[in-house]
Structure 1
């Protein structure tokens, strides 16, 4: 158990529609009651069936080494066996730890979403990952990624120039900190009754066990 941290939190209030989830912050005296909708809102579009009973919420950074490794390996198995089969849905929220370039990449992903190509652009960013704080995220590289997935560059660049989603990305970061996210990747895996927190790029077996428990 020393290699990973799982925090299972029982349902706090079960009589309200959807159920309230109690997510215990550090210290435990500081608590935040969250619904599934509160956890999901303002993040990425849902990948998978909206009606899937289990949600994996990933907090990530496009420059993060272990986020990249998760997307190159573990996520593919989860996607094929659980997302595409309707058992699990995935949501991504930005937690840009690595500075302005990470914020800019996150903004670009939401500009891509304006053209209904969020996940295509998201995957293209990780496909072209170039390390942490190495300078691979630039306006030129973001334009190249946009071209690769077929975005309208004029609309895309107008969105970036206007910094349309900068406040959104910064707010996601602050919300993550508020509920105890302090590393990337971090995951909240939940149904209507429990949240299980997974910190870091853990082995596939950890995710399989977590999904099984829920």
Structure 2
């Protein structure tokens, strides 16, 4: 897993943020589940809110698998949410995902990217992210490059053309998962 370290100067203090994808479970688990999603994708919200908790309970809590949540933003709003997610402390990342997906229709439907960013700032603030860190994360080109590079690499490696996409031990099982989501299971 590639990690990039961002350093921000805030009130004359250096703040370090590691850029990586959020992993749940033991790093050395036999099963590796990667979930590629876009924060503005309604089916990604459905997967995250309705299926992910069961996957965590059945597979990561039992030590059978690790789940890595990977960014695959489909639009500028999702890209900005992904950039902000990188600055959320690990202990609050799942809460950020939950909130973003629960409030998806509210924050992602702004009339401009500025309005969307203000809504993202409010969500981030509620999770303890200062305005300074929010603005730094949103505007840092290395942060954006990391998110977009994750997307490009996934697209090439796994032939991803839609979200959500689930990859288990490097095998894309999108068709199976999308069938389950479309069937409302």
- State the TM-score, normalizing by the size of structure 1: 0.65
Instruction: Give the aligned partner of residue 186 of structure 1.
Output: 165
Task: Work out the CA distance in 1 between the residues paired with 2:106 and 2:119.
Answer: 14
Alpha-carbon contact 2:39-2:101 (below 8 Å) kept: yes
Alpha-carbon contact 2:24-2:68 (below 8 Å) kept: yes
Instruction: Give the aligned partner of residue 110 of structure 2.
Output: 135
The counterpart of 2:83, out of the listed 94, 107, 118, is: 107
Task: Work out the CA distance in 2 between the residues paired with 1:173 and 1:189.
Answer: 17
Task: Work out the CA distance in 1 between the residues paired with 2:60 and 2:79.
Answer: 27
Report the secondary structure of 2:24's partner residue.
Answer: coil
Task: Work out the CA distance in 2 between the residues paired with 1:116 and 1:72.
Answer: 18
How far off its partner does 1:122 sit? 2.5
Higher relative contact order (Cα pairs below 8 Å, separated by 6+ residues)? 1
Instruction: Give the aligned partner of residue 99 of structure 2.
Output: 124
Report the secondary structure of 1:165's partner residue.
Answer: helix
How far off its partner does 1:129 sit? 1.4
Number of residue pairs matched? Answer: 159
Alpha-carbon contact 1:57-1:91 (below 8 Å) kept: yes
How far off its partner does 1:131 sit? 7.6
**Structure 1 residue 147 corresponds to structure 2 residue 119:** no
Instruction: Give the aligned partner of residue 156 of structure 1.
Output: 134
How far off its partner does 1:163 sit? 4.1
Report the secondary structure of 2:129's partner residue.
Answer: coil
- State the TM-score, normalizing by the size of structure 2: 0.74
The counterpart of 1:56, out of the listed 14, 26, 33, is: 33
Instruction: Give the aligned partner of residue 87 of structure 1.
Output: 64
* Structure 1 gaps, min length 5: 1-39, 205-214
Post-superposition CA distance 1:15-59 (Å, at most 9, x none): xxxxxxxxxxxxxxxxxxxxxxxxx44541311122221111011
Alpha-carbon contact 1:66-1:185 (below 8 Å) kept: yes
Report the secondary structure of 2:33's partner residue.
Answer: strand
Aligned CA-pair RMSD: 2.5
